[in-house]
Structure 1
Amino acid sequence: MSTLHPEGTVGNASLFQGVAYTSRRLFTLSGTFRDFDMFNVFTNSTSLLTSAHELVTLKQITSTSGSPPFNAAIAMAALNKQIIAYTPSVKGVPTFSSFDTTTGTWSGPGLMTGEDTTPGFSVPLATIIGGAVRALVLITLVVLLIIRHRRRRQAQQKS
């Protein structure tokens, strides 16, 4: 088992020896590992550019299951066909998760599914609907007051 030491971060991506991990993607280097003193992740997230201007291609591993929540302090290790991820604290509890590169599945506690990157966050639908109804009532009242004011003015002009 070889430990994958963090090489640094770019935006929300953590780079490890042979592995790049973001909140939504896990990559492994398709070629031999190169040290990254200074690097850039291209916008399509398929390549790394080293300080020596070498282009290193990343191989995307598609996950067919949930994944652990992203943490900038995550540590990873490679063991045969699995990548073990240690997250120091998720809601106060450190967790271990493993990714099987053959099946493309994560296993471990607290896995997130889909595109949900903020667990526990939900849109306050009742508040939005209530605000829309209040706005419609206010607009209706303003329109009625304008109509009433015009009718009074017309009645005063006739007399």
Structure 2
Amino acid sequence: MTSNNDSTTGTTQHTGASPYLNSRIFTLRFTSTARGARLARHLVAVRLDEWGVPYGTEAHETVVLVTAELAANAVRHGHVPGRDFHLLLRVTDGDRPFARVEVSDTRAERVPPRSGRLPEPELTEGGRGLLLVEALADRWGWCPRLRAPGKTVWAECALT
């Protein structure tokens, strides 16, 4: 596990017209194991509470569940021996506060279907995690990683 926080508070201030004004960012690398996925979920839960999204609220539970599913998928479908997965949590304040969870792995050839194109759960032996993400998140998707091999799967959840 490697911390990449730029400041001790994990808060960044951006200037200009951006949806990320007054964002707080938490980012870490985790071992691509079940233990790493559990730790990612736990640390997101703690960080949300510290940032004013309290335990037990619908917003908190939604973001934690989305994080758990994305991290589990990175371990199950994106695992490359000896490579970690990377998690980024961004909570943005403002008129419409939201949380964005990004989970990146190093396996480029295994990509999820696009949002809205998930197979019916009865037709597959797995794949229910992304169905949960699609049901809970306001938006989700994936993109290739820019500076490394692999992909990033992301989801955004409203905090209101």
Same fold (TM over 0.5): no
- TM-score interval, smaller chain: under 0.3
Q: Which is helix-richer, 1 or 2?
A: 2
Q: Which is strand-richer, 1 or 2?
A: 1
The structure with the larger Rg is: 1
Q: TM (normalized to structure 1)?
A: 0.23
Q: Which has the higher contact order (CA 8 A, sep 6+)?
A: 2
Q: TM (normalized to structure 2)?
A: 0.23
